[in-house]
Amino acid sequence: MDAAAKLVVLTNHATGSRYTLRDVRYSGIEGVGPRELSDAAGRGRALRLIADSGELRVGLDEIDARSPLNVPANLNAVEFDVEEGAGGRLPDRQGGRRARDGRRDPEGYG
């Protein structure tokens, strides 16, 4: 459920939504054993618990073993898929954000 809670927090912050844990479809890693992990590795794949904000779900997915999401079990990884100008503001390397017209918004709100 930790991954589902993080998904809700990040999705709500990024999109201005008001999702709750009840909105997330969740399936954990129960039933996955050494054989399944070994079989996936034999195909150059890895099994990881993936939280997907597009589908608002958390579940076991098979990913490429070379994926940046394939981190040790004691770590978390995040990957953002964004469209240029999504949300009206683009990240600014100096902190804050930039509005679509290029003006700097140090608070990231406008």
What CATH code would you report for 2-80? Answer: 3.30.360.10
User: The whole model's pTM is what?
Assistant: 0.68
pLDDT digits over 42-85, tens only? Answer: 999 999 999 999 899 999 999 999 999 999 988 888 887 766 65
The CA distance from 28 to 25, in Å, is: 10
Diameter of the chain measured on Cα atoms: 54
Residue type, 103: R
Q: d(Cα 4, Cα 56) in Å, to the nearest integer?
A: 9
Domain map of the chain by residue range? 2-80
- Residue 24 CB burial class (10 angstroms; 0-12, 13-18, ≥19): buried
21-42 residue pLDDT tens: 999 999 988 889 999 999 999 9
- The SS3 of residue 48 is strand
Q: Are 58 and 50 in contact (CB under 8 A)?
A: yes
